[in-house]
Each structure stands twice: as C-alpha cells, then as structure tokens.
Structure 1
Amino acid sequence: MPAPHVPLPPTDRVLSPRTGWTRAHWEAVADSLLAGVAPYATPGLAQYRLPGRGSWSGLVSDGLEGYARTFLLAAFRIAGAGGDVDARLVERYAAGLAAGTDPTSGEAWPRLTDCSQQMVEAASVAIGLHETRPWIWDRLDARVRERVVDWLSGFVGGRTWDNNWRLFQVVSEQFLASVGAPYSQADIDGGLDRIDDWYLGDGWYTDGDGRNFDYYNGWALHLYPLLRARIAGDEDGDRAKVHRERLTAFLRGYAHFFGGDGAPVHQGRSLCYRYAAVAPVWMGALTGATPFEPGLTRRLASGAVRHFTERGVPDERGLLTLGWYDTFLPGTQPYSGPASPYWASKAFLGLLLPPDHDVWTARERPLPVEEGDQYLALPVPGWLLHGTHHDGVVRLVNHGSDHNPPEPADAADDPHYAHLAYSTHTAPQSAPRAWKRTVDNHIALVGADGTPSRRVRIHPLGTGDRRASSWYAARLAGDAGTAEYRIESTSLLHGPWEVRVHRVEAPPGATVREGGHALADGTRPTVSTGPHWAVARRQDGLTSAVVGLYGWDEEAAVSRDIEANAFGPHAAVPYVESTAHSGGRSVHVTLVVLSGDTVHPRELREAVEVSVDGGEGPDALDVTVRFPDGTELHA
C-alpha cells in the first residue's frame, strides 16, 4: 500500500521482509512531519499555530505545544544525524527558543505555573535541548540560555498533577541540574518516589492512584525516568537500573499489542498520539533493557509508523490531526489541541541509535501474531490479549482498567476504558449519542426508558490462562441512584472466539443486552440477523458477530450509526437482548467473534455447547463451554 502524503525511498524487502522499511524511511517521515508544520510558525518561530480545534488551555499554550512537540522530533532527527541536517532546521528551533523566552517578542511562552499545560511542553523542550546540546544549547547566546533557565525554573518547588505529570518536573529539573542552574533534588526524588507507589509489578504502572492502565505506561511512566537518566548521565545508577528492569518486564508482553498490519490495540486516552506507542520499544533498545531481538524491535516500530503513513497520516497538508486516521474529535479529550498529536514524535527515539546499530542492520523478525495464534494473560491490568495468525487481528479483553480514582471518589465511564474488549482493527463507539446508548462490547441492564447501565468501576476477580473475570455494579435510571445490581462477567478465549459468561442481578422489567465489536468503515457494513445471532461485515472481510448461546431471546439486531467511530463514518454493532427480566438472578452466555474469516453464526450456535449446573444462586452455578474441537472451558 503506498503512502499517499509522504514521499518515501524504495523499500528493502531483503533487510525488511515484513515492512520494507529502513532507517531512510524513518528519516523521510520525520522530515515530512517537520516540513508540514513549518508554514504555521509564528514570525519569530516560537509557536506553531496549527489549524483545528483548540484545547482548553488556549491559543498561546497550543502554539507552545506546537513548538515543543515538534522540537522533540527535530531533536531526535538532528542528534541522530550527528548534526548533519539542513542547517535551517537547527536555526529554526534555536530562533524559537530565543523568541519564546523573550517577554518582549510578542510570542513569549506562558510562564510555568502549578499544574499548567506549559509543564508538559517544558519537558519536551528540556529533552530536546539535552539531545541537541552540541548544535543548539552550546551555541545559544548567553542571554538566551539565561532566559531558558529562568523559564524552566518555574518547575522548582512547583506542583504538578499527581500522575505522569510528576515526571515532567523530574526531567526538566534534571536538565537544569545538568547546566549548573538552580534546581530541587527533592522535586526529582519526590517525583521518582511517587511513581514507585504506582508500580504494581510485571512492568505495569497505574497512571496515578486507581486502575488507570493504558499507553501512558509506555510512552510516559517508563519513558521519562530513563530519559532523566540520559540527562543525568547515571545510566548505571541504582535508580536507573530499577527502571531498566521494569521496562524489560513490560516489553516482554508488549509485542502482543500489535496486529499483523502494524496497528496497536485501540484502547485508552490520547490515541491521537498514534505511533508514540512504540516509544518504549525504542527506549528498550537505547538502554539495553529490551528482551527483543533487534529485528523485532525494528519490525514492531516500523510496522506501526508504516500502518498510519499508508492510511493518510499525516494528511494531505502534511499535518497530524486529532483522530486515529482522519480527524475524529469524539475520540479525543478536551485537553488536546491541534498540536497535541505531535507527541507522536516520541516514536522517533530510535533515530538516536546510530545507523550501524543492530536495530537498523538486522533482518526483520516477525511479530508474535505473525508466528501463530497467541494468548497472553496480563494479571496486573486485568487484561487478556489474543491474536490470530490468519487475519492478524489482536483483541484485548478488559477486566481491569477503568481510569477512575479509588473509591469513594466520584467515577465515570469512558468508551476507551469501560468496554469488555478492544482490538487492533476496531474502535469503540465514542460519539456522545452513540456512547449514551453504549451498545458495543458492553453487558447492560436496560430500563423501561431505554437507558442502559454503565460499567463505571471495574472490580477485577482474576486473570489467568485464556480466562479473566470482573464485576460491576449496574444502576438504572429512576432508581434514585441507590439500587445496585451486580453483573459478574467471565471471558473465555478459544481461537478467534471470546465466550462471555454473565451472572446477572436485575430488577423486574429490566432487559439484558450485550453487544459485540463495532465495525466501522468508509462504506456501510453489510449486516444480517437470525435467531439468537447478528453479524456485521466490512468490505475488507472483517466480521463482527454475536451469538446468544444461553439466556437470550431469539431476536437479535444490529445498531447502526454515522460519524460515531474513529475507524470510519459508517458503523454497525451486532447485539443480543433478553426479554423483560422476572427479577433476581440469571445467567447469559454469549459468543463474540471478530475475525477476518467468514462467520457462520447458525452453525456456531449449534456447534458450541453450553451447560449450566449448580445450586440456587449464580455464585453456585457452574457453566461449561464445549467447543467443536472438544475443548472444555469452565466459568
């Protein structure tokens, strides 16, 4: 597939049989991205005011974001080439530093104040300055260096949000220390000590208190501590050693998050950063903390960037947009402005490795999903990953991450965390009207007015080999916010199939509804329904199906929507539903399929057997699922 908006060199299928990409492709994409933003620079080059929806931080902050995040990319490009780049690139960002820190320039950056967006961007500036010391920092006029130090010094003794933001202070003050400027060692140590509180094992941090598991684990919580170590020059220090060990543990399972087409699983917030998801892979290689063969590092990273580049990212203007492929604002957060997607710059960390490094010269190795069907249990976040070799699809089953603070704090649901499953080939329905209905990948009680219950807090019950469980407290509109009904769900994996066993408490009159994966495309998916099943199919053959195996009505349906999904304007979600509940407890078993194969739901319903045995309550019931090959799984 050609890259529609980026001129690329010829592919090398000997060195890179999977992607065809070489270091030259990475340099070409970096150069294209840097050229794309150039027309949007302010006269003094201190801000890049890109078109698009502004963030809640305002125009000037968004302009600083444009400078800082593209400076990070420029820094990797400059340092990776040993300064052998077009001199105008170095001059452009040096001039921006001078203007941005000059209060009289008319383009001055906002001062760093407690919990301000400027803190995020200052960290990128500090990292960029460290990586380009010989070409930018060391050549700056002394007065400009003093102004940069003065601006960054707003961090000293300052307060950040109590999450990954603590690390922006850490790296920025470490840079101040490296240039002999005043800084607070207590700030640095305090930030690093705080993330220790969030480390839960096996390479996984929660982003702040709670169960906040997503890509911030890789592109922030693992990344910045080791970037700090690069600035401090203490890679062999005890603290850096611990951070390298944690990164290694995380990376052992991380290759399983990427599909055969290179796409990362679509889960969590800030997904407009796209291929920033490969930043921890490069950091592993940079620090010797990787468990990967060099050819796998490059295959994973090149595959992800190639995936988006071939699908029109950047766009015809040369810009990264607020979306996944095209602009799609419902999939973004209000803190994201038009330059926010340029945190994708972190993906280019690999350019800091010299051209003769093994990651650039070794032959590509296949991803796990390219070698065979894969299952991976991640007990800390409460996730199961399962990938299928024949179609390259990777699915994430979620029984653990809800992105909420601990009780008794208020909590809310979010389409990028609350669902039972995500994948490399689908996205949740996130437009407000669709999210209000919350059909896809959700088990809900539905009240008489049609309002579904929300999976707000996920309470994990266990994650193991091909099996994970959790429960949530369902509430119905009109119950005065006091009545709660426990819905306990267990996912059982077999090939491309996920069987969900639900033990449901419900009031009389409520119905139970469950949806499968939302299929979205540029054209309307074809749909079909039958007794106990519903199917949607995209033009490329990807199929989403739900089959009611036990406890469901015969009628099934497909929910359609427009402009509700990051993968395309036309979306379809198959679902099954029960009759009005008699009250009390019930069991519902569903087969959920997302596959590149043709799905035959009628035959599947006949071939997959379910037996329910046991005592009075759902907790005493044993559910056995028998698959066509004779495999038995229990819930």
Structure 2
Amino acid sequence: MQLPPEDRTLSPHTGYTRAHWEAAADALLAAVEPYATEDRALYHLPGDRQSWSGRLSDGLEGYARTLLLAALRQDETALERYAEGLAAGVSGIWPRIEDRSQPLVEAASIAFALRITKPLLWDRLDDAVRQRAAAWLGDALTAEAWPCNWELFPVTVAGFLSSLGYEPDASRKAIDRGLERIEQWYVGEGWYTDGDGRKFDYYNGWAMHLYPVLHAWLAEDDRLLDLYGGRLSRHLDDYARLFGADGAPMHQGRSLTYRFATTAPLWLGALTGRTPLSPGETRRLASGALKYFLDRGAVDSRDLLTLGWHGPDPAVLQGYSGPASPYWASKGFLGLLLPADHEVWTAVEEPGPAERADALTSITAPNWLLQSTSSDGLVRLHNHGSEDVRYDPYYTRLAYSTVTEPSASYDNSLFVDGDPSRTEIEPLGVGAGWAASRHTAAGGVRVSSVVLARGAVEVRAFLVSGAEPGTPVRVTGWAARDGVRTELLPAVALDDELSGVTGEEDTLFVALARLTADADAVPLGETATVRASGERELTVVWSGGPGTRVRLEGSGVEIGAGD
C-alpha cells in the first residue's frame, strides 16, 4: 500500500497524519472495486472461504462494509458507484432482511452510510429507488435480532428511516426496543456484556457504544448523548490501556479480523466531544493501530484485507466470517468525519498509557487486571471474569497480551487431570495489583485462582478443591513469541515441569510467570519469594518491595499486607 512520507514532527510516535488515513481508505476502496458485480450490487471478494450465511449474503456484506468506508471517506466518485449498486440491490438482488439473518447486520452499515452521505447519495437517487430502498431497509424494523449487539442494528436502521419520516411509529418502536434491550447488559463503569452472561471484548467499543452514541449524535438528542456519551467517556478511560506501545490492540475476544475497527470508539469520543483523552493521544492510539496492521501484512499484494490478524490466520475466524468480513475495519475510519482542521488532526501526538509509565489497572466490570510496562510497551490482560465458551480460547484463558496469541497447546491454563477446561468463571474481585476468580475444571472440580502482579512479574496461585487425591495438575504460562521472553517457574507444590498432584484436602499450587521484552530484566527467580502457610494461605515478598498476604477460600479471597 502506497502511503505518504511519514511526518515525525506532527506525529513523533507513528509518523501518520490525516493524509495517511485518507490514502489507506483510497487504496482499500480501489482494491475492492474489481470484485463488484456488473450491476455493483454485490462485492464477491476472492478466496475459497464462505460464511455460513452463503455466497449471496457474503456479496451483500462486501457491498455494505465497503460502502461504509466510502461514506466515511466522503468520496463522491465512489459513492456514485455505490448508488448504482443500491438501485440494483433493492430491485430484487439483495436477500431480504429476515429474523436473525446476516442482511440485518449489513442493513445497519448501509443505513448509517446513507445517513451521513445524504446530500451526496440518497438525495440524488430517483424517487422510485428511494422508495424501494426504504422498503428493503424497513424489514429491519420488525426483524428479530440475536440477543446481543445485534439489537442495535434495527436501532441504526430506524434512526435513518425516522429521519426520512418513513414509518415513524415503527421506527420509534424499533429504536426504543433496541435501546431498552442493551440496558440489561450494561454493568457499569462504561462496560457492557455482549448479551447475557459475561462476554467482554471489543464489541463494547465497535458495537455496544458505537451505535447508541452515533444514533444520539445524529438525532441531536442531547439527553441520549449525555447518557451514552458519558458511558463512552468512562469506557475510554479503560479502553485506551488495551493498546501496546507498538500500536497492537489486545489479542482477546472474537471477530479479531476486524483489526483496526478497534479505533472506532477512540474517534467516536473525539467526534462527539465525549472523551477523557487528549486529541494528541487519541490520534496516537488510533494511528498506532492502523500502522501496526499495515506494517504486518493485514493487506495483501492487491491491497485487500485478508481474513486474519497480521496476515491470513484461520485461528481468529468464526463461522460467520466471510471474504468481506474484515471490512468492518471500515469503522476505524470514523475519524475522517472530523474536519482536517480539527485538533485531533492538528495536535502533536502524545504517548499512550503503555508508553508513559508502568501501571496495574483494575477494571471492575469484567474483573480484569491490566498490567503494562513502559520499558517494553507490553500490555497484559489477566482475565478473571470474561467467558464465552462458544469462542474458546479467546475468552477462557487466564491471560492475554498485545504480543501473544492463544496457542493450540493451551497457554495460560490450569490442567486438572490432563484437561484445561475453564468454565463457569465467577469473579472473586479485583484490586490494586491483583485479580481473582473461581471456575469449574474437569470432573466438576472447583478452582479458585488469584494473580498478583508487580512490574512484569506475576504470581499465579490456584486452590484446587474437590479433586480425588493424586489427581495430576499442571500449570502453563505465556505462549512463545519471537522477540519476547516467556518464563514460568514453580513456587509451591509444583515440580520443575510445573506439574503436581492434589492431596487429601484442598491443594494450593503456585507459580511465578513473566512475559517481557526487556533484555535487562533480572532473573525471574530473584523477583519474589513465595511462602505457603497451610492449605489456603501464602505470602509473597517482592524483591525490594512490600509483602502481600493472600488467603484463598472456595468462595472468596483475602488480600492484605504480608511480612
């Protein structure tokens, strides 16, 4: 991909400016154009993969998600092509929007795109085309959504149709219904779970916050904007800490092939004035993520986004991932709606949280502990509260980072009787430098877990309850990755292979772990001393620092000062 020369004066951290974002958008749009059907209603991108929705739906997805990019770019030439495709699509080519169908998802992208380009696209369509388009979109008003972020797709469609005066009562009902639905999933402090349960991931930013805030902003509804914008601002306090110094987003959750869609909530905060981040920090984080992916093969030699993370990678895909799925990355170009003279584009880049100082950040809603080290710019997420067994291993591991990815050999896991299962995760709390949870392991065994962190060092403790005496237990650490050190040492009841067996009563196992790119790090064994006191209690004495006492019970954890 051809980009302008870097500007290290305005953007000392990334070199990227608005011109780089514009050039990236232009290149992505140019690359997909040869794959449009003759009538431009469908975009059949190359590859042998097809989503479970089928080829026709995948072609619609290609149209909708790249239309979104053209709309954010405000590219009149491209929008003329998409207007032609719209006219053909709503004349019988596109599949109908039905209950829980993929076209409902794509309708939201189309409706939002039409709303923000109304003078450039919608207003120039023939009246008959507008009527057919409104009727096609109108099926979204009553279509049943999956009980998750999908509830917001009818809201987005209804917002556009309402602005046209189309079916005002049905549109209002769709908006109210969707916004009411997501209230039951708001758990406070800026965090939603993506439907029932405890599914915490990037859908918070690129769906659960994005659509309500955009709806309120476009509707000029100050009451809703204060509500949803306030939640977004609080979320960004935590969200900004999920990016490494190299620009990498945290490698956790599903739909990771959307890549720099992770930047959408950063831009959204600036666009609506609901952000705790400075303009320079906003652009640094967003440009860092875009640069991270473009530098690592996210686009192929044809400038097409591939199905994967860096390059092609089937491990990060789901059954709904089709050839055009990665183009939800278009959401990451939301910043182009801000004028070129906006301070988010003109301010000098400022360092992000991972670059400023070592930090241990407790996030109560998902029961996460974020551990970042400025010496190497790495961020680690200790997961003691997020779970979605449908998408294991991207939810159920004990830890994730900005430089590693879940391994097929089950990194960051506890094996009980040879089984790494971790289900029914129950948060036990999170605080200054610690996080704890309880889960069910193989055979119904219950495990209480706690991680203590200081700098890049972790102490991981597990109390195994209800296992037969002599049951084998094994602890694993970080997955191997070029350029970083992954270390794991036994501390209590584990041998040099990080294995042990349960006793007659509840049994405590403890290990020291570290993930670091700091070549000068002291030996892991010199960073902390761990002493067990009975079956449920241990004391950690940090090198050159205070001690921490931990008591694990089946239903809770006590953390206090230790000798």
TM-score range, shorter chain: over 0.9
1:354-393 paired onto structure 2 within 5 Å: 354-393=339-378
Cα deviation, 1:496-555, whole Å, max 9, x if unaligned, reads: 1111111112223421111111124xxxxxxxxxxxxxxxxx2x3x1111111111013x
Distance 2:520 2:478 in 1: 14
Paired amino acid for 1:424: T
Paired amino acid for 2:232: L
Distance 1:470 1:160 in 2: 32
Distance 2:12 2:177 in 1: 46
Task: Name which of 60, 63, 66 aligns with 1:64.
Answer: 60
Task: Name which of 34, 42, 48 aligns with 1:47.
Answer: 42
Q: Aligned residues: percent identity? A: 51
Paired amino acid for 2:507: S
Distance 1:356 1:240 in 2: 24
Distance 2:213 2:145 in 1: 20
Match of 1:530 in 2: none
Task: Name which of 320, 323, 334 aligns with 1:335.
Answer: 320
Distance 1:588 1:260 in 2: 33
Cα deviation, 1:570-599, whole Å, max 9, x if unaligned, reads: xxxxxx222x43443211111111100248
Q: Per the alignment, in what secondary structure is the counterpart of residue 400 of structure 1?
A: coil
Give 1:604 shift: 2.9
Q: Does the CA contact (< 8 Å) of 1:101 and 1:151 recur in 2?
A: yes
Match of 1:25 in 2: 20
Match of 2:541 in 1: 626
Paired amino acid for 2:486: S
* Change over 3 Å in CA distance of 1:599–1:17 after alignment to 2: closer
1:213-228 paired onto structure 2 within 5 Å: 213-228=200-215
Q: Does the CA contact (< 8 Å) of 1:383 and 1:400 recur in 2?
A: yes
Cα deviation, 1:184-220, whole Å, max 9, x if unaligned, reads: 1122101101111111111001111110100000100
Task: Name which of 96, 112, 115 aligns with 1:111.
Answer: 96
Q: Does the CA contact (< 8 Å) of 2:457 and 2:527 recur in 1?
A: no
Match of 2:84 in 1: 95
TM-score, normalized by length of structure 2?
0.95
Q: Does the CA contact (< 8 Å) of 1:543 and 1:599 recur in 2?
A: no
Match of 2:411 in 1: 440
Q: How many residues align?
A: 546
Paired amino acid for 2:212: P
Q: Does the CA contact (< 8 Å) of 2:31 and 2:303 recur in 1?
A: yes
Distance 2:524 2:115 in 1: 58
Give 1:412 shift: 5.3
Match of 2:183 in 1: 196
Task: Name which of 104, 108, 111 aligns with 1:126.
Answer: 111
Distance 1:379 1:202 in 2: 8
Paired amino acid for 2:538: V
Paired amino acid for 1:156: L
Distance 1:390 1:371 in 2: 9
1:470-485 paired onto structure 2 within 5 Å: 470-476=437-443, 484-485=444-445
Paired amino acid for 2:439: Y
1:491 aligns with 2:491: no
* Change over 3 Å in CA distance of 1:94–1:399 after alignment to 2: same
Q: Per the alignment, in what secondary structure is the counterpart of residue 275 of structure 2?
A: coil
Paired amino acid for 1:613: S
Distance 1:600 1:256 in 2: 23
Give 1:456 shift: 1.6
Match of 1:293 in 2: 278
Match of 1:8 in 2: 3
Match of 1:181 in 2: 166
* Change over 3 Å in CA distance of 1:600–1:253 after alignment to 2: closer
Task: Name which of 462, 468, 473 aligns with 1:512.
Answer: 473
Give 1:88 shift: 3.1
Task: Name which of 530, 538, 543 aligns with 1:610.
Answer: 530
Distance 1:357 1:161 in 2: 38
Paired amino acid for 1:213: F
Distance 2:490 2:438 in 1: 20
Match of 2:554 in 1: none
1:577 aligns with 2:548: no
Distance 1:490 1:40 in 2: 51
Q: Does the CA contact (< 8 Å) of 1:545 and 1:599 recur in 2?
A: no
Distance 1:321 1:24 in 2: 23
Paired amino acid for 1:37: V
Match of 1:273 in 2: 258
Q: Does the CA contact (< 8 Å) of 1:515 and 1:546 recur in 2?
A: yes
Distance 1:197 1:454 in 2: 29
Q: Per the alignment, in what secondary structure is the counterpart of residue 112 of structure 1?
A: coil
Q: Does the CA contact (< 8 Å) of 2:67 and 2:79 recur in 1?
A: no
Task: Name which of 393, 397, 406 aligns with 1:415.
Answer: 393
Task: Name which of 409, 421, 425 aligns with 1:458.
Answer: 425
Distance 2:548 2:81 in 1: 61
1:128-143 paired onto structure 2 within 5 Å: 128-143=113-128
Q: Does the CA contact (< 8 Å) of 1:439 and 1:514 recur in 2?
A: no
Distance 2:6 2:390 in 1: 46
Q: Does the CA contact (< 8 Å) of 1:32 and 1:318 recur in 2?
A: yes
| Structure 2, unpaired ranges of 5+ | 551-563
* Change over 3 Å in CA distance of 1:315–1:412 after alignment to 2: closer
Q: Does the CA contact (< 8 Å) of 2:260 and 2:290 recur in 1?
A: yes
1:145 aligns with 2:140: no
Give 1:10 shift: 1.1
TM-score, normalized by length of structure 1?
0.84
Q: Does the CA contact (< 8 Å) of 2:413 and 2:420 recur in 1?
A: no
| Structure 1, unpaired ranges of 5+ | 1-5, 79-84, 404-410, 477-483, 521-537, 557-575
Q: Does the CA contact (< 8 Å) of 2:487 and 2:524 recur in 1?
A: no
Q: Does the CA contact (< 8 Å) of 1:549 and 1:605 recur in 2?
A: no
Paired amino acid for 1:200: V
Distance 1:390 1:66 in 2: 41
Paired amino acid for 2:266: V
Match of 1:159 in 2: 144
RMSD: 1.5
